[in-house]
Amino acid sequence: MSRVCPRISGTPTAAGKHCPKKVGTVPLTVGVLALQGDVDEHRNALSDLGARPVAVRRPSDLAGVDALVIPGGESTAIIKLADAFEMTEPLQHAVQSGVPVLGSCAGMVLLAREVLDGEPGQTTFGGLDITVRRNAFGRQVDSFEEDITIAGVEGGPMRAIFIRAPWVETVGEDVEVLARTSQAYHADKVVAVAQGSVMACSFHPELTPDRRLHALFLQRVKGRSGQ
């Protein structure tokens, strides 16, 4: 089935059509960490926007990528698999060296400087000067959807899906807050941030047909690479 994909301006393409297939003059190669989680969903979103997604399962897969996506899933499972496949240090090095990264849900947890309610001594890849609370919105049964406004994304609010999602407890002075929740029960929680070449969100943009957050990320990647 074809996916309807709004451009970053929020103006959708014709029903049933994909987004334009060119992102700059040369398609960006975007690695998707493929150890666990919503790997295919992110790859579909990136393909819809004209990027070239590649699966990243071992250190050699990082060679030649313009950017990296860490998908939603289970943060403790991802980090254990990263350790098993000897990916943790290469991923930390990639983030520290300035490779642009987008993390969703578990990906946000793994990009944080500090994790609350995680496993003792939980390792992260770093990149964001934030403290996150793992599973802050509750268990699977507490999952919810909400329309949120994201800085830099035009065309009105985006539908956000929160599944055992984290929220951001504290942000460093160099961190840009992109979005907060508005629901009365969990109002004003920080759920999307950016710092330098790294972006992260608490929700799952890969699970909706709205590609604007992925498009914003790719625009930031192109801006940093001069495309």
CATH number at residue 185: 3.40.50.880
Question: What H or E segment, with its residue span, contains residue 110?
Answer: helix 106-111
Do 202 and 107 form a contact (C-beta atoms < 8 A)? no
Task: Report yes or no on 171 lying in a domain.
Answer: yes
The boundaries of the domain holding residue 40 are 29-225
Task: Report yes or no on 181 lying in a domain.
Answer: yes
Task: Report yes or no on 6 lying in a domain.
Answer: no
Annotated active-site positions, please? 105, 204, 206
Q: What is the pLDDT of residues 6-34, one digit of tens each?
A: 433 443 433 332 353 344 568 999 999 99
Query: Domain tally for the chain?
Result: 1
Task: Report yes or no on 10 lying in a domain.
Answer: no
* Residue 62, token pair as written in the block: 């990082």
Q: What is the pLDDT of residues 61-97, one digit of tens each?
A: 999 999 999 999 999 999 999 999 999 999 999 999 9
Helix (H, G, I), strand (E, B) or coil at 212: helix
**Measured distance CA(101)–CA(107) in Å, rounded:** 9
Task: Report yes or no on 15 lying in a domain.
Answer: no
Name the DSSP letter for residue 17: P
Task: Report yes or no on 14 lying in a domain.
Answer: no
> What is the per-residue pLDDT for 21?
37
Task: Report yes or no on 12 lying in a domain.
Answer: no
Task: Report yes or no on 22 lying in a domain.
Answer: no
